Structure 1
């Protein structure tokens, strides 16, 4: 795998490693590590398969910067309209969640430096600066993301080693909630935590000289990294904080404050890690929305910049203190966009025998049936 493909895999990982890193301990710890780990692995498997379906649809429909062109080529005008509506709702919800989380950290960091930044000012400052980087193009995001990802992983490893002396095996065995229906309800948040699929069309276009197998490996490697990081983080957090305390957290800063008794500098390192995780996720999702707007409206960079960031920023300002709620809403939208839409695209393309010699997601009709059941499970998890 060349550096460009590796960088693209890291964009996939960075897109997933964001809000989920903060939400997963808060929603899973109360159910115990065994059931939490099994559910997370199941969600990862279904999500990765759905991503491979989208990769197949992207390749066979001729690629393109955004889902707009892919949906038009595979599903026609009606499917294009539905896909665009779902995509805009999803990306705006995700960007709202990332802006809320990043602004929380930014305002906390500014206060530590003796600066006064209101929550709203932090939201505006973060969106304007990070959005300007996105507008510079995929190549810039790729190179910057590689550096940020290395720092992020280093800070995570440092945190894990620092928390190791206080690690309690007794905490790992604790289960404070035996309600399996409540556990299933967390599926939408977990699914959103692996919500990297939106970047696939942009990365296929960016790696236009790569083989189908290389693109497939890019997706799989990119999805495995966040799974590993999520599991390590869940074990570390649960091993150091009791489930009853984790249930009470509702924001990024509260989770950080929970570790202040361990060592004075751990909060700083965790803030760095979570800040970078949110930033890399923001880059991936914002890149997808920027390319979608460019593909749909075909305007210059300045107009596309405004179209991309004004609605998420306004939404984040209006939805203060709703971090987990926004993630849950995004999870419901993501089920339709990231599971059912790729299934419909691939079904139409395979039925028409379009470019049958190109990549097809493994498993044939049996796995497509699994994808349908997986999407149904995610929808039912919100209706239990």
Structure 2
């Protein structure tokens, strides 16, 4: 490492790329040698400011004498001991083993080009409660810091960067091996995750002992997601910077509470007694309400005054939603869980049916298929269609 080679390059050294050009060769005398009209070339800079490439097209080499003066001026050729030099892209691929691409993310609100919304947090992996290691550590992985963000448009994408804080000031310290996992969670998730069984894994990075780990992922469905950054081994302490970029506002925030905390002003509200996780999977055989003989159904999941609305499934009487909600319930016996199905219209939505879930027994991943009934004044009237949901209920508020 840091040893100079015969070609003038330094082993284990990071060079900056300052330009990439196609150099015109026809009529230069090099056309026959390289058998092409244009030669792809790359300009690099040694940050030391000295020590340059000594091969083909190095400063003052005879290859440059066969390039026209006009073309040399186009690429801005100078022969100075400034650490900057040109080489063919073929030689670059031969002598360099790794290239890191730095992305400049446009977050300006006044720009006419593509912009991104940024969510940013400085965090730490700290023993014993926030250093759970990678997903291989099944019992401790969800002890890591957790951050939620929203995708508000269908078929959108996100960019996520995890960077560990510099350890150069601490002699003998090395980068930790790290990465992150993205999970699709309930539409109304506000508390920390406690059970991987209930969540959908969307993506996971390779774990590397690098200063930075980056992932661009998409397309992604509309909904809420949680990113869990972690070291590879459990019990490793370090500081990090996490940044999440999305096309629209993403409501990025750290999930800090294990269960809802009663606000000081909510004097009359009861403490949660039970947590219910419901996943609305699909419906079949719904009523045809559109002129084309279909429907645009969506669900409203409600419990104890809180409502969660799923996305609309266009032109289908057999919609597949696969969307979840979680409710911390203080009156499970008095306020049952309801799932209503509506048909989306421009002016006024049509009611398609509902099912009321009264049972409060504890269960995990219980799949049920139920029928639909009308509104309160027609609760004995059956509506067309069947609804499939998966329910998990427990009185342990920190297990979902």
**TM-score, normalised via structure 1 length:** 0.23
Bigger relative contact order, structure 1 or 2, given CA contacts below 8 A and separation 6+? 1
Which structure has the highest helix share of the two? Answer: 1
Larger radius of gyration between Structure 1 and Structure 2: 2
